[in-house]
Structure 1
């Protein structure tokens, strides 16, 4: 009986020891698995939401929240080119703004002629006067002079006098002289029928009544006997 009891105690002890060993193994396996398990996923990066766009600003597609703010626009009516820039359509300097005066034109002049022969002179003289009926203008040089005759046109030659420029004011006048030989041959000579004068630098002529002698002496073909002086050579009136 004593032996059976001892055997029973040994069996119980073995059972308890086996249970404890089993429990210890299970705990060891559990801790091992916990240490070898998959690590938890890293939390997602903290992304901040884009701030709301300022009122009135524009954004471009595909760049929301990361674009550069649009450049400020210049106020209406002003240029972005910096100081000194002017708005389009501003007044500009035109011809005549600097006070310059243009040359005298044929359409702004009125021409008259009169006999200016002085008794005793070897040659006869006709004075032609230009009156400015337009704005102030400049004039210099020689006018063109052509006599109309029964033998065709006859152009006057220029004298060797100087011709300085000057300003002919509005409503003022200036004169030049035409000289020609007197027909003292007693013959019919060359009959003068008209006079054409052209202001300096112009191509449009003015027809003027011829006030001088009716005829010129016949020449031997040595050139025109008619001569013209520079503008102002016969006096300048107001």
Structure 2
């Protein structure tokens, strides 16, 4: 396993903002620092914190939250940063069986929930990736959901797999979410007696990511992305922007 520092941007109103740089790939390249960031919700950031993101070179924000989440907790994104809403899951009740099965799966098993997210939302995932790739030509890109763990963790796993990062490092990156928020989660659970069954959903256990990566491998990620509309040229652009030989 490759060992790297946790490149966390310490903000008062967002706990899980971090850089995806420094991971070695299969061909000996490395993911660039200060290019890709993952995060939790940015709706509570103040002007000083937005200035920190601007100073980090972030010029594109991709919001993976649902339409209702984005409306209930909007983000006051300042110029020159551009904001794009790219939900990773449909929110329409009329989606019926898919939505019901996804919700039930998340309640019982994060592993199955992540797999369903990828299986059922290929076009939405490609839309988010396409927006990200285009944003990279303008500067660093930050993508986020609410806690920065599930939807963000899934997109990060897909991205890092595309770039050739090892499954071990992808899993270790996923685990950082709980490391950064375990105190808050424990305090929340203390205030919610009788809800202990929810605790596994709030963690970022390695087995959960291992299961998703197994599924991604079975899919053949390149074929999956191409089938859902991403082009070979866009995949090459992603690698060009995000990889370096050091």
The structure having more radius of gyration, on CA atoms, is 1
- Give the TM-score, by structure 2 length: 0.23
- Relative to its length, the structure with more helix (as a share) is 2
Q: Which has the larger share of strand?
A: 1
